[in-house]
Amino acid sequence: MKSRVRALTLFLFCLCAPAAAATLTHCQLQSVCDASQYWYNDYFPSNEPAGVTPEPLPPGAGLIDATHWQSGPIDGNWIDYPGERSIFLFPNLVPSASGAPPALPGNFPGPYTNVSVYVSPNQDANAIGSNWTLGSGNIAEVSIVDPGSSNPSGAYIAVTNASCAQYYVRVVVERAEPDASAPDDAGADAGSLADASLDAPTDATSD
């Protein structure tokens, strides 16, 4: 009898669990998903551990302004983010002139002060009829790792979807204001990468 009551309680919880943003709901009594790791914009393949899949960043990824970097534009295709997926981002790397390894250190070194993880049920998250929200909890577990001088890329960001739900993700990384006395041409790229999402950091829904 107790097992029946427990099963019924779990079933009702699944029916009543509130969505994070419209269709952002995933509820199963039992769920199994395979863990995976994808490294984005890593131009040092010799550093990739076994089992890692290298992937290019979406078009439009890069600097927003001197203090913000994005994994892709708000109105572009977001990164695939299924359950138990960890993605590794290297904000301070830019491709070499040929587009092949090795890459060069860019204009966005750490230390990083904030990481915002946005999730959507749709890859084209900003399209009419779609929606997205600021991720939290086990769908947006963040760690900032600085491997030191052993990795020319400097610090990198690891973001994990520790649930078994399918999402798409966009990550915005913030760093401290650059030292005005040090040379930094990051602002030169800011105009073409302006991002309205910085004015609405918590949630947005297209009509």
Report for 39-53, 137-151, 152-166, 188-202: range of highest mean pLDDT: 152-166
The string of pLDDT tens digits covering residues 71-94 is 999 999 999 999 999 999 988 876
Across the chain, where does the E strand assignment appear? 36-40, 52-55, 62-65, 68-70, 79-81, 85-89, 93-94, 104-105, 112-120, 131-134, 141-145, 156-161, 167-175, 203-205
Q: How far from each other are the two terminal CA atoms of the chain, in whole angstroms? A: 47
Domain count, the chain: 1
Is 27 part of a structural domain of the chain? no
How many C-beta atoms lie closer than 10 Å to residue 153's C-beta?
23
> What pTM value is reported for the model?
0.67
Is 145 part of a structural domain of the chain? yes
Is 151 part of a structural domain of the chain? yes
Q: Looking at residue 165, what is its pLDDT?
A: 95
Helix, strand, coil fractions of the chain, as percent rounded to 5 = 15, 30, 50
Tokens of 196: 């309205």
Is 54 part of a structural domain of the chain? yes
Q: Looking at residue 9, what is its pLDDT?
A: 40
Range of the domain at 42: 35-178+186-196
Query: To the nearest whole number, what is the mean pLDDT of the chain?
Result: 72
Q: Looking at residue 127, what is its pLDDT?
A: 92
What is the pLDDT confidence band of residue 189, given thresholds at 50, 70 and 90? very low
